[in-house]
Structures are given as C-alpha cells and as structure tokens.
Structure 1
C-alpha cells in the first residue's frame, strides 16, 4: 500500500495490491463475525497483488544457461574483487509473488535482523513469537544462510502465487497503515541468500541495507552517503498513473496537470552531500540544486514573517521565481512531567496545580519565534493538525492554558499561573510548610555551548513563578537510561507519527506503556484508569462521531491532568525552483520522487542567466596593474634617455 500523494487527510491506496484490504473478524473458533462486532479473537487480512510486476535488475537473480544462480555460492576470494553491485557482470529479475511478502514478515522474527517492529508485531501476528523462538535455535546452512521458507508462520501464509493472508490477534485497525511502511516491503529469498554469503561485509558494504532490491520506479545505483547517492529509473518498472484527484485547490495549483500520465517523470535523481550550509545555500540560489530546506543562517534571506504570523518569500526569492512550501509535520515536541516523581508527578491536586501553572508559564509561542524561526504551531493537545481527532478553532484550544480572544488562542497571563502555584503549596515559589525555595530539575542532553541560550530561556520561564530550575545535562545514552529507569523529574522529548491515526499519539499516555515499568513509549509514565479504559475502546474503533467524542474526552483528561506541557508541532519549510513541478508536501509518504517533474530546459536557461561570467573585475584589475606599473615604466624611460644624452 501507499499514501495518496494529494489527498488530505492521508488516505491509503493500493501500490502493488489490487485493493486496500478489509479485515475479516473471527471468533475463537474461527467463525466469521460482523464487522461491527465489539470483540473479535482474530482479524484476517487477505492481500491480492497484481501479476506481472518485476524486480529491478540485480545480481541475486542472475542465472546461467542451465538455470543455476550465478552468484549464490561465491567464495571469499571471488567476493574480494567485488566492491559495488556494478562489479557483478550479470543481473537478472523475476516476478513479484505473494511469497516475497510472507518471507519479509518472517524476517521480523529473524534473530540477526533485530527489527525494531518485532516487539509490537509479536503482540499481534499469530505465531510470530513462536517463530522467533524457533529461529533462535535454528542452524543456518554451511554458508550462514537461514532459509525462512522452511519455517511456517500461522499468521502469514501464502494462499496462491498472488495472494497472501495475515492473521492478527484481536482487532487492530491501524495495521493497514503498517502495510504502507518498509517493514512490510517484499523480500525475495534470492536477495537474502545473496547478501548472506561470507565475505560480503569484509571491509565493504555489499549488504541489503546498502543496496536494497525492489520493484519501484527507481533503483539505488550509487551509494556513498558521505558524498553522493544516485537513483536511476528501474527499467523493469511497470509504470503507474499520476493521480486524477486531490484536495480542493490542487487543480488550480497545477497539481493535476499530469493526471493519468505514466510515472516516473524523472530518469535520474542525484543527492549530493554538502558539509557546509553556506555553499549548499549558494548553489541552490545559483540553480544547481532544485530544492532546499531553510537553515537558520539563511532564513531571513529567504522568508519574511508578516504581522499576522504568516510566512512569505522575500523579494530576492520572488525575483528568482522560487516557491515556498510549508506543512505542519505529524509530530510533536513537549515538556514531560515524570508521573512517578513525588513533587511534579501523580494524581494529587497539589502536583496537578503545579503542572498546570508551569504549562501556562512556559511560553511556547516565544520559543517557536526565537529558536525555530517561527516554524511551529503551539500544541493544544497531543494530536497534530491533519489527523482525525484534531479540533480546529475555539473548541480545539486547551482551556487550562489559553483563552479564545479575537478569533485566536491567547496564552493566559502569568498572574493566572501564580494562583495554582500558591494553591499547590508554593506561594512565591517557596514551600509553605518549610519556607524552602522550590527547586525543580530538568534532565537534558548536553550538546555544547550552543545550547546555553536555550537553557537560559528554560530557566527564565520557571523564574516567572519564582521556581528555581536546575539543569542536569548529560550525554544521550545516560539521558535515555534515566528516562528508562524513571529517574527524572522534567525532560523534553518529541514524537514523530508512524502512521496518521490519533492512536499513534494517544498511546503515549497509556498506562501499560509506561517506560519505567514496561519499557513502553509512555515516557512520562502517566497513569489514569479512565483514560486507559477509553484508549482501549478508541484504538479499535473506525473514525466517526463516536470515536471523535471519546477522543475529545481523552484530550480533556490530559489537559486537566497535564502530564505534558504541550509544546509545539513543527512546521516544515522548503523552497523549490520554478522548474520543479508537482510539489506538494506529504509528511507520511516516502515515495514522492516519482510524482515530480523537472523542466530541464528552463533549469539550464536560469543557470546560464544567474551564473554569467563577471568580467569587469578582470578589467579593473588590469587597469590597476597598468596604473601601478606606469610610473615605473616612465621613470625607466627617463633614465634611459638621460643616459643616452650623457653619452
């Protein structure tokens, strides 16, 4: 599966499948249940793939005249002379089959793959835990390869050449999103065997992650991350039509001009690493790069922020016909209060008032302006804009922290925050019982002197409440260990969506996901029985009014309990030249290159126009040299004439 390039909210559409699969629900005896049944023992997804899809040319598929694989039994000596895939004289291909998808699902349990998704999927895919135990005891062949075709998996089975079936425990409607991610991309057994040969990693990078194999529009032909990476058109790609529909406004923006045309439109894509931002930026302005992000150093040159907070391009960019693209990322950055901490954590009224007061005091609008060049949206809750469950306007604000004034959210004045601090037992920042000043501790990573301004800003926010903030800076590994053990008080973290469903953010507060207790993703270790019960219902529900109502209640609970100070959702800015077409930010898809177009003639024209040789400095230098030499020449000639007269 893949995400529709143009539609929002993000929508799944087929890629190699014939349709987006719909689950069939079964009871414990395997009997079908209605789709709206509240409980189900199993969910079954049957996926049909289109016939005739071919893999890219690759040595793993190469065969000799007798049909034997040329490169599956290489000696170390034979491999020693091979450094890239181009060093293999022969390539081959074959048709994509359902077995390739099943093989990849089994790889999630492979002891040498160490898939980060195994822990989650082992809770759902029937038999995956048992397969992992079996593979840990299995013996590979004499060449170190473990042929996963020999090991059955109940939760992933081949039905026929073009159909496979996945069986999950219970209901998990978000599973379809995972089918659009690389964890479930097909894996031909030939490639697994090819790369498993001894010697492939001896001082070289002949590995699957360095040279992947697939059926998509491009193949990686050069991979040097320190200098250059090259994607070239896959000659075996079947082609794919550009979308016929999108959002309102897409047609006016020219995004449907290529509707129905076969993709990809670009034959070769070159990524070049620039170690310094200034040369990279200058090359973009000269037209040698088609698109660019905007660093802090070049932000003011490229973008100006209007009185209403809207970003527009500067005159310099407009004169070059450079375009600006912005999109709110499906991610969030937040300040967490450790629920296990005796001062700021737990359900007590005292701790809750303190958390709420700090949430008001930490001015995220100012943070975004100073440290993110205005590139962010203050968070009103955990769910970012663009996802189901997010509320716009007055009904979407956090009433604990904001008031709705003149059609926009306005942070409550600091005086409002001082009252709950006093109510928490800390009037003027001192413990009412002991008279001692309130000192809180922020754990963070130490990245060097450049962080001083940011850390000073943190202290300033807490000082508004007369709270002393002590910074405990450490390295990343130690920071992570402190969070894992629950040995923190306050800390900053972020989260990027795995898929565009509110469950992927709401589970960050689910009690059984506590980082300190279960090594889950609930880093704040928050726990609320009502919230946990609602999450259990919401996570398995389809989008609709009932789900929205439950999400509203969950967000209300979070705003009241304040386990986070909801920070901001980053806003991505990118620039692109007029010759780059079909540009629309898609923060979930990873296969957007195939949609892009390049007007090569316009690019060449602009490069010549912007990079004409400047000859006047040479002329000026020549005149300066002439002016400097002239007195010497005149003096020399005078001496020569004087000597001639004297003779």
Structure 2
C-alpha cells in the first residue's frame, strides 16, 4: 500500500490512484478492459453487451452520425441479469420486507461501530436504476464529485439537476430517485438510456471508470442513519458494490481486507491475449471462474525497508511498485546493465518475477506561456524555449535520478495510446536528431546558438547585459538538493541561472491557478486510452487564467489552430482523418516548445514465485480478480527463507562454556587441595 491511508472510498468522490486500486475490486462499472489484449480493448463488465449508440436530432428523432441536425447521442445499456450486490446490512429486511437497520436516533444504533457488527445482511440483483442513482450522485453538489464540472458538459440534464439540488434542505437521507435528470431514462430493470449533448465518441471510455458504478439507494439511505457518520459508517469508508470482492475490514492505519463477494456474477479468465501471453504463463488459468483468490490484504507500511524485508521473507506476495529512484531497495533489487534494468542475482535466485511497465502517463516541467520572459509566440521566444529544452538532458537526468527507468518523451502522447509513434517518425526534430537508428539530443553548441538568436548571448540579455535568471516552482517533496545541483550545472552550460521555489502542493496549485509561475512541475496519468486524454492538457479554454477554474492547461497555452483541431478530434471517430489531426496537434506542441522537458515513467513490479497472472494493465486497476496464488509453494518458500538461525546460540553456549570452564577447573583444584590438606591433618 501507499505510505498514506486512503482518504475516500466513495466512487463519486475518489480520484486517487491508490484508492482506485481498492475501489476497482469492489465496484463494477458498465464497461472495462480486456486483461491481456494490447492495444487496450474495451469489454462489457456490468452490462452484458457493448452499449447501443443512437444519434438524435433536437426533437428526438433518429439521424445518421454525420447529419448536421445531430443534437444528442443516446447510449443504451443492458444491465446483466446475473449481477448482484454483495451481502450488506443495508439490504437486510424484517418479515414485512421493511429495512431492518433504520434508526430514529443515534442511541438506537450506538452498538454498531463497523459493518461486521451487524448480524443480519441481505443482497439483491443490480438494476438499471442503480446505475442511474450513481450518476445522479455525481450531480449532487453536496458530494463535490471531481467529475461534476466535466460530465455536466455532456450528460443531458446534469447541470440542471445540480442547480435543483443546490440549497435543498436535507434532514437525513435525500432520495435522489425523487429527482429526475433529463438525460437518464430507466426503461426497465435491465435497460438504461444515457443521453449526452452532441457527439462525443470517448464517452464510452468514461463508462469504464468507477464513477459510473451502480449505487443502491438502500446503501445511501442506510449510511444516513443518525450518528453513523460520527463512527465512519459511511459509503466513503465502507463501499457497497457488485464487483468480485467486498470490504470486510477497514483499518487504514493498519490494514484493509477484501473478501470474495459470494454473489459475484459468472466471470472467467480470458482465453486469448497477446502472442507472448501463453509463453509467459498468463493463460494457464484460462476458463477458470473468477476471482481466483478468496482474500486480498492491503497493509500500511510507512517505511520502505520493513516492506522490502517482509517481501523477501515471503510475507508479502507482491512488492508494489518501484519508480526507479535511487534508494537502498532499488540497489538491492536491481542492476542497471547494457540492456536496461535487470534483477540482481540475489533477487533472481529467489525466483522473483519482474514486471516492468511503461505507464500511459507523462511527467513534465512546463513553461507558463503568459510569462513575459519564457512565454509568448514569437520566433525569439520559441528559440529561447528550445535552447532550454536541449540543455535539459532528459536522458542523463533519467539515468542519474531514475536509474534509467523512464523514457524521454518526444511526444505529448505516451506509448500505448493512438497518436504515439516510435522510431524516427516519432522523434521531436527540434531537440533530437536520428543517428544510427536512435534519437540523439542536439548539442549544447546548438542550444547556445539558439539562445543567442533569442537575444541572450552567453545567457545574458543583449539589451541590458543582465544574466538570464529563471524560476522553477516545484513541490517540496518532489525534488532534492542533488537534483537542483544537477539542473544548475546543465543550465550553467549555456549561461542560464536557475532559482528554485519549493512549496507544498496547495501553494504550488495556487500559483498555477493565478498564473504566478514561470516554470512548473506536473504530471498526468491516462484516465482512458485516447489521445484526447493528453491533448486536452494544452487546450486553450482549459487554461486556469481563461476558465478561472482548476483547468488542466497549466501552461496557459493558446493556439486557435490547436483549439479548433482539439474540438474536431473530440467528435471525430478513429480513422485516418483523426490521426492526421492528432499528428498536426503534436507538431504544434513541438514547434511551440510548450514544455521544458517530459518523460514517460516506467515502474517495476515484483512478485514472489507463487504469484501468477501478474501482467500489468496501464489503464485498469480491476485486475486482482485474475491473480492466482500457489499457497503450497508460498508456505514452502516461507519456511525455507525463514529458517531459524541457531548457530549463534551454539556459538554463544560454547563461548560461555569456554569462559566458565577455567573457573570450574580452578575451583575443583582448590577443593581437591583443601581435601588433601584435611586428610594430611
């Protein structure tokens, strides 16, 4: 687990990756991803088939996809008939069918402090109305869902429902079934229509996110019992889902335990994947009923070394992830050779398996395009930014600070996402050349020449003679003195001075929102495998200074051509036309040199030899149902690796004996001498 416990386990609120790892095992969204296939492939999960897509005009009449009168897109979801919620006291009823655990006062339910305290539970089938209820919760302003501002642009009636719910007086539970949302139509128990404005093909990817999980109204009402919130009896602490696992223990400062949902629908390990999957053993469990294990235990380890030691002793099945930072764990586990990162001989001898994973993500330092020094769109400003890009040797940076465990980003779109190109076709020609089959960074001399042409020969302003000094805003915990010294050195090669302004995240975010930055650090991990999910990082209207909001375009980049292309990419289905538009947007990003540097992070996951089906999935975290454990091997290896070390005890005993023996011998001699003298007398 992460060094910090989860803050939110309500699928309408949570947006953290660590929380998603837990929630994705408990909830089942309408759509999901094939565990083995790459490129990433959507598959039905909570629904029995792919959504039916219908295009409508303003009057609700069906039209073709390319009809100019198209006003809405309707997605019809067919909910599985075999999907069931987990056992939970919210579903428990008395003989009259009334809820068993609804209390008039806090004192009535005071004896219950956690969900396992309730002796009675019930369950029921998932209905289309549960998905509708979950979507309505996204619109509830009291919850503050991070999806609200985005989804209200698309789902018909969501903004209006938010306005209706704003200021509604609440005395206990607010039944959202009493409120309508124009874009939601529950046709029957197993059919739900969701209507969105216009055409947005990427909406189907959002249906694979946990935000769209079904929420039973019974659970929402149950957790509104008087006094429950004071004891953390909330949906944010005790989730209620229809996925393969359910939460049976939540002590975030110690451990969180998930157990098999006994009512989980029929689901089976896939029988097809990439060509290498069969050889890697990933299809050994093909056709088996999921999940393959009965329990999942997440333990909080605040220190890396105890976690690492316990993993090597066999008390943890998986090590979690290592980002390649220089630390004792990395040095013990890996060696960096000519072919990249490899397991050390000691680790390899344990039979431990290594799963490297290039994440569909990008970490970067961006320029504020509104800044009077590094911002702007003249050729001189572009040359200044390109000079700085060349000077920042990302390859060297990754080798030193990430042990080579990252890839220099030549593109705003990472590997595995359409629009990313490999090889010579994929390099950024403004910062690299293609030589002998690989990208080679342009020289410092070229950077100096660009800097001079930008008006800063030898790093000094040609007009004033003052040295060029740049300011970098970073999160305090994300940078150390060694990294800052390295940056001082690389920028010093072209005569540029750097000053760092470390701050906590809240202060850094405040600077981004107000445009009070020059160079800033940031990162983005894909929510779904589409280039739009990265290209939006430079969409003009989403700049904080434009939207006056927590926008994603922290560089405040503005380009009419880019913005128009982005609007077209959003609504254009995959194909050559869309690929050409994406390629043009990537070229604009490169030409304008919007970011100082960027890289695609690589993570390394280790699993002990008894763990199988460990293939990484960059988008979905709903993968623990595929994990299998050979418990017999686990017990045998634990015993082998934890044999008691007895030789120190024997050595200590011999040492004590060696120390005592001379005394005993001397004592006996004295006793014998005394006896002889007595006899002589």
What TM-score results when the alignment is normalised by the length of structure 1?
Answer: 0.97
User: 5+ unaligned residues in a row in structure 2: which ranges?
Assistant: 1-30
Deviation at 1:351, TM superposition (A): 1.1
Q: How far, CA to CA, are the matches of 2:631 and 2:271 in structure 1? A: 25
Count of paired positions: 642
Q: Residues 305 and 22 from structure 1, CA distance in 2 versus in 1: closer, same or farther, beyond 3 angstroms?
A: farther
Aligned CA-pair RMSD: 1.5
In structure 2, the residue matched to 1:609 is 640
Q: How far, CA to CA, are the matches of 2:435 and 2:361 in structure 1? A: 26
Q: How far, CA to CA, are the matches of 1:460 and 1:22 in structure 2? A: 57
Q: Residues 540 and 39 from structure 1, CA distance in 2 versus in 1: closer, same or farther, beyond 3 angstroms?
A: farther
In structure 2, the residue matched to 1:386 is 416
Q: Residues 527 and 290 from structure 1, CA distance in 2 versus in 1: closer, same or farther, beyond 3 angstroms?
A: same
In structure 2, the residue matched to 1:300 is 331
In structure 1, the residue matched to 2:197 is 169
In structure 1, the residue matched to 2:257 is 230
Q: Could you report, residue by residue, the CA deviation over 1:324-377 in whole angstroms, capped at 9, with x for unpaired residues?
A: 101111111111110100110011112111111111111111121122222111
Deviation at 1:36, TM superposition (A): 3.9
Secondary structure at the counterpart of residue 73 of structure 2 = strand
In structure 1, the residue matched to 2:11 is none
In structure 2, the residue matched to 1:547 is 578
In structure 2, the residue matched to 1:401 is 431
Q: How far, CA to CA, are the matches of 1:633 and 1:255 in structure 2? A: 67
Secondary structure at the counterpart of residue 517 of structure 2 = coil
In structure 2, the residue matched to 1:465 is 494
Q: How far, CA to CA, are the matches of 1:53 and 1:476 in structure 2? A: 41
Q: Residues 577 and 39 from structure 1, CA distance in 2 versus in 1: closer, same or farther, beyond 3 angstroms?
A: farther
The reply on whether 1:558 has 2:589 as its aligned counterpart is yes
Q: How far, CA to CA, are the matches of 1:390 and 1:17 in structure 2? A: 31
In structure 1, the residue matched to 2:388 is 358
Secondary structure at the counterpart of residue 345 of structure 1 = coil
In structure 2, the residue matched to 1:195 is 223
In structure 2, the residue matched to 1:179 is 207
Which one of the candidate residues 130, 141, 154 is aligned to 1:100? 130
Q: Answer yes or no: is the 8 Å Cα contact 2:336–2:403 preserved in 1.
A: no
Secondary structure at the counterpart of residue 230 of structure 1 = strand
The reply on whether 1:510 has 2:527 as its aligned counterpart is no
Q: Could you report, residue by residue, the CA deviation over 1:491-520 in whole angstroms, capped at 9, with x for unpaired residues?
A: 111111111111010011111111222122
In structure 1, the residue matched to 2:659 is 628
Which one of the candidate residues 465, 488, 504 is aligned to 1:475? 504
The reply on whether 1:641 has 2:672 as its aligned counterpart is yes
In structure 2, the residue matched to 1:584 is 615
Deviation at 1:37, TM superposition (A): 4.2
Deviation at 1:551, TM superposition (A): 1.0
In structure 2, the residue matched to 1:50 is 80
Q: How far, CA to CA, are the matches of 2:125 and 2:156 in structure 1? A: 28
What TM-score results when the alignment is normalised by the length of structure 2?
Answer: 0.92
Q: How far, CA to CA, are the matches of 2:391 and 2:466 in structure 1? A: 21
In structure 1, the residue matched to 2:521 is 492
In structure 1, the residue matched to 2:602 is 571
User: 5+ unaligned residues in a row in structure 1: which ranges?
Assistant: none
In structure 2, the residue matched to 1:81 is 111
Q: How far, CA to CA, are the matches of 1:51 and 1:160 in structure 2? A: 12
Q: How far, CA to CA, are the matches of 1:609 and 1:564 in structure 2? A: 52
Q: Could you report, residue by residue, the CA deviation over 1:269-302 in whole angstroms, capped at 9, with x for unpaired residues?
A: 1122222211211111111111113473211222
In structure 1, the residue matched to 2:247 is 220
Q: Could you report, residue by residue, the CA deviation over 1:365-410 in whole angstroms, capped at 9, with x for unpaired residues?
A: 1121122222111100110100011001100001111111121111
Deviation at 1:476, TM superposition (A): 2.0
Q: How far, CA to CA, are the matches of 1:491 and 1:646 in structure 2? A: 95
Which one of the candidate residues 362, 377, 401 is aligned to 2:407? 377
Which one of the candidate residues 270, 281, 306 is aligned to 1:243? 270
Deviates further, 466-475 or 85-94:
466-475
Q: Answer yes or no: is the 8 Å Cα contact 1:217–1:237 preserved in 2.
A: yes
In structure 2, the residue matched to 1:263 is 290
Q: Answer yes or no: is the 8 Å Cα contact 2:103–2:109 preserved in 1.
A: no
Q: How far, CA to CA, are the matches of 1:302 and 1:407 in structure 2? A: 31
Q: Answer yes or no: is the 8 Å Cα contact 2:82–2:266 preserved in 1.
A: no
Q: How far, CA to CA, are the matches of 2:374 and 2:438 in structure 1? A: 30
Deviation at 1:86, TM superposition (A): 1.0
Q: Answer yes or no: is the 8 Å Cα contact 1:39–1:171 preserved in 2.
A: no
Secondary structure at the counterpart of residue 596 of structure 2 = strand
Q: How far, CA to CA, are the matches of 1:39 and 1:385 in structure 2? A: 37
The reply on whether 1:430 has 2:460 as its aligned counterpart is yes
In structure 2, the residue matched to 1:331 is 361
Deviates further, 47-56 or 32-41:
32-41
In structure 2, the residue matched to 1:348 is 378
Secondary structure at the counterpart of residue 278 of structure 2 = coil
Q: Answer yes or no: is the 8 Å Cα contact 1:39–1:170 preserved in 2.
A: no
Q: Answer yes or no: is the 8 Å Cα contact 2:371–2:518 preserved in 1.
A: yes
Secondary structure at the counterpart of residue 111 of structure 1 = coil
Secondary structure at the counterpart of residue 251 of structure 1 = helix
Deviation at 1:104, TM superposition (A): 0.8
Q: Answer yes or no: is the 8 Å Cα contact 1:195–1:208 preserved in 2.
A: yes
Q: Residues 74 and 88 from structure 1, CA distance in 2 versus in 1: closer, same or farther, beyond 3 angstroms?
A: farther
Deviation at 1:39, TM superposition (A): 7.0
Q: Answer yes or no: is the 8 Å Cα contact 2:540–2:546 preserved in 1.
A: no
In structure 1, the residue matched to 2:13 is none
Q: How far, CA to CA, are the matches of 2:312 and 2:639 in structure 1? A: 12
Deviation at 1:195, TM superposition (A): 0.7
Q: Answer yes or no: is the 8 Å Cα contact 1:382–1:566 preserved in 2.
A: no
The reply on whether 1:368 has 2:368 as its aligned counterpart is no
In structure 1, the residue matched to 2:25 is none
Q: How far, CA to CA, are the matches of 1:560 and 1:470 in structure 2? A: 26
Deviation at 1:22, TM superposition (A): 4.0
Q: Answer yes or no: is the 8 Å Cα contact 1:380–1:566 preserved in 2.
A: no
Secondary structure at the counterpart of residue 298 of structure 1 = helix
Q: How far, CA to CA, are the matches of 1:602 and 1:38 in structure 2? A: 63
Deviates further, 111-120 or 459-468:
459-468
Which one of the candidate residues 592, 596, 599 is aligned to 2:627? 596
